[in-house]
Amino acid sequence: MAILEVAALSGGYGTLQVLSDITFVVDQGQQVVLLGANGAGKTTLLKTVVGLLPAWQGHVKFGGDDVVHWPTSRRVRAGMAFLSEIGVIATLSIEENLKLGAYYLSGSQSRQQLDRIYQQLPLLKARRKQAAGSLSGGQRKILGFAKALMGQPRLILMDEPSSGLAPVMVNELLGLLETYRRTGPAFLIAEQNIKFLQGADHVYVLDNGRVHFDGSPEELDADTHIKAAYFGLT
């Protein structure tokens, strides 16, 4: 069952068109990667899906509802989480940040989520009373991820999670994604790092605001033309 269906979507900034005729699907619990180089339109696409930018044409269906005219706040309440670093408040403690991520859950649900997160991320538990600002950039990203999970969203949109992360933190993030595979929310991950294909259910390659490839990571790996054209790989 699809959680997100994007059909014939176009959009951009002012009169500058960036996205053209984009169609893709994310099924419930799937981890889908939107792969593309700098400037391919990944951020623009995620922002249009979550409603931070208007769609010029096309549809965005979320959980069966056409949300294309809904404000971002309504899409978020319906279970869409857009992960950005701005979401972490440096002066609040790690635990306060996590609780903020679940502000609309009941007290007991919030505590349950907190326990689950602390089990998976003992580092956050050990430092729960410290200000989030004391974390390294990479750890702060992990906290942002955990904060998004706290709200039990149905879909998490991640914009280049690997950017600025040391390889060890990228691996930590990949491990975390692995633990949520199939049992967690669906993920739509915009990336240029092909490491994120490991374990992904589906991949869309974006270039110049259009989808140029749609298939499994194995199919992409076998497609020498796409690999050479977009990633300089042979």
Applying CB under 6 A, the residues found at the interface with ligand ATP are: 13, 16, 18, 36, 38-44, 160
- How far apart CA 58 and CA 4 sit, in angstroms, is 13
Nearer to ligand ATP, 40 or 149 (CB): 40
Shortest Å distance, C-beta 126 to ligand ATP = 33
Q: Which is nearer to ligand ATP, 46 or 102 (CB)?
A: 46
Distance CA 215, CA 62 (A): 21
Residue 38, phi then psi, degrees to nearest 5: -55, 130
Dihedral sign for Cα atoms in the order 75, 79, 82, 88: positive
Measured CA to CA, the distance from residue 197 to residue 53 in angstroms comes to 27
Measured between alpha carbons, how far is 56 from 53 in angstroms, rounded to an integer?
9
Q: Report d(CA 147, CA 87) in Å as an integer.
A: 8
- Please report how close the Cβ of residue 211 comes to ligand ATP at its closest, in angstroms: 13
Sheet with strand 2-13: strands edge to edge: 16-27, 2-13, 55-62, 65-66
- How near is the Cβ of 40 to ligand ATP at its closest, in Å? 4
In the complex with ligand ATP, which residue's Cβ is closer, 4 or 19?
19
CA 9 vs CA 42, 76, 191: distances in Å: 13, 20, 20
Closer residue to ligand ATP, CB minimum distance, 121 or 189: 189
Question: At its nearest, how many Å lie between ligand ATP and the CB of residue 167?
Answer: 19
Minimum separation from the CB atom of position 58 to ligand ATP (A): 16
Smallest separation, CB 91 to ligand ATP (Å): 28
Residue among 42 and 99 whose Cβ is closer to ligand ATP: 42
- Torsional sign, CA 93, 83, 166, 173: positive
CA distance 63 to 78: 8
Nearest CB to ligand ATP, comparing residues 18 and 146: 18
